[in-house]
Structure 1
């Protein structure tokens, strides 16, 4: 069998000089995308994808004063301390092993699951999955950087949001009960992180999200969350902006699913709770005024064709969402996941300069 990660370390080597931010101020998605391409069996396209994106990447900052084992709480939520956190986690991984480090810090950081528009945990999960495939120095370094994004930008959804006391409803029914904030407070533009501040205007959020029964077997529960938030995407994604927003509910749940086999029961519970509350928060704050009547999508599509279409499309969110849905489809057989990918490819703009039309790959199947 061909190793889907055969070129992954080469891609990580290209990314090694670059930091967590882009020139436009947003998060650097490249480490997540190259791992998603590998997981989709398209790892041979990662280096060419990086060449087209490298001009937007910013170099890493110089080394910083270290974070001590007893003083890490003071450095939480301080983006300027990213390099110190990366060095901190590199030492933790060297001393304690990557699995023990991941388990400990997934538990500690899960209250900030939505950190950096969910990218802290998403990058960590992509890094950990590649590392579980093969332990290499570059992959350990990438895990340290993923955890560093999560810790340096750490921010709970709401300061007083309690841990959910799970109820009796299946996730899709509990999500339907989540009430969006008043229409004039719903966010229609700008950063996801800034928009999530409006969760404070949803007074029933803690009670409503506590209605979900997430007590089933963890892997099955996480797959149910991916499917539930894929349905939210189909319902609420109406344009490029809402497609990006609700893609993060899906990929956020997929991050939990990817991490669960690598951590212990305590971290598993914390990750599931974080993924659930974060996806619900995106509905509460960003749900559009008139959902339910999106663009038509091609009627026939196969997983291989969708993976190819996403790689050709080139948009980072399209690639990550496609991989999350295809992985869940392989486990669950839920064809609505394939429709989610097809809709995303119609709503998200292809990467600038791509000559191919990815939607044609969906229309011309036999």
Structure 2
């Protein structure tokens, strides 16, 4: 689809005064971040999006349906400390140890200080856990930036950071190809991995090179924000015509860089520019791993009659966690092509309710 004029009517983002989000997070914090050994627990991210977009009344019903996918937090393995954290980084056996570590850290220091210290340590492993850990961090930070700080919300950030640390996974060494003039051009130039039959770790292991984007080094914090907005918009738009290739996995090409974008306001400005490269790597990696050979064009005027609130209401009624989170990102982008992409995710992914 072609670029379209951005819409100016956002979906509902009224503050939650019901306590629903805190109740949901408290229900979830005895659960681990994964199930079946590696599948991510999407509930904390999905309930945050539902509450933020005016669908708080359905959160507990949604959680009741999702409950079968939850597992208890795994047993502790070996304590993570300021001395041994480097050897524990990327060790999924220590998921519970990392959660406990960040609970202690955020109890003793302001959460922004903890985030600023760990952000540059964690960014190189942004692809770990299929990018779900950074996405969870983005949802947690958005809550803390836009509403009252309290125990459940700070604990959610601690668990998100712990998940990222436990699943930290750098990409293989990559060669930079010719610069691309825009994020959309860069995503279009990403080569598919040769063997797309395996899981994400097998696919990421095949990566060898990406187009260079942005073409020039990011000059400062404001430019970093602009480039991230461009990347999120391009990846969201691309889903409209390419999402059919892997409807679940390809949402992360947009939601992962959007998590980075959401986190920027909580970080020192000197960390904004280095964040762009990591966000691009995550988006490009998912694109390479799961994009189909060609697009499927949508009909003219697809979703044109729907408002942002109506599109998100459809995603909420559909109930699929990835669809909810992708639609939440599409509403951040806010234009007609983004809303069409969100509606496409509703059609492509199997309903959960």
TM-score band by shorter chain is: 0.7 to 0.9
> Which of 226, 230, 235 is equivalent to 2:241?
235
What corresponds to 2:9 in structure 1? Answer: none
CA contact (8 A) 1:171 1:212 kept: no
What corresponds to 1:140 in structure 2? Answer: 154
Q: 1:328 to 1:166 in 2, by over 3 A?
A: farther
Partners in 1 of 2:183 and 2:61 — Cα distance?
39
> Which of 296, 313, 319 is equivalent to 1:314?
319
Higher relative contact order (CA 8 A, sep 6+): 2
What corresponds to 2:8 in structure 1? Answer: none
* Further displaced range: 319-328 or 57-66: 57-66
CA contact (8 A) 1:116 1:150 kept: yes
1:235: how far off?
Answer: 3.0
CA contact (8 A) 1:174 1:211 kept: no
* Further displaced range: 255-264 or 168-177: 168-177
TM-score by length of 2: 0.88
Q: 1:212 to 1:54 in 2, by over 3 A?
A: farther
What corresponds to 1:342 in structure 2? Answer: 343
What corresponds to 1:175 in structure 2? Answer: 187
Unaligned runs of 5+ in 1: 355-366
What corresponds to 2:26 in structure 1? Answer: 13
Partners in 2 of 1:298 and 1:67 — Cα distance?
49
TM-score by length of 1: 0.85
1:64: how far off?
Answer: 4.1
CA contact (8 A) 2:239 2:341 kept: yes
1:211: how far off?
Answer: 3.3
Q: 1:166 to 1:147 in 2, by over 3 A?
A: farther
* Further displaced range: 294-303 or 122-131: 294-303
Where do 4+ consecutive residues of structure 1 move more than 6 Å?
none
Q: 1:293 to 1:190 in 2, by over 3 A?
A: farther
1:100: how far off?
Answer: 0.9
* Equivalent runs, 1:224-263 vs 2, <5 Å: 224-238=230-244, 242-263=246-267
| Partner deviation per Cα, 1:195-221 (whole Å, 9 max, x = no partner) | 22221xx3x42x544636654523322
> Which of 134, 137, 144 is equivalent to 1:124?
137
Q: 1:294 to 1:195 in 2, by over 3 A?
A: farther
> Which of 62, 65, 81 is equivalent to 2:94?
81
CA RMSD of aligned residues (A): 2.4
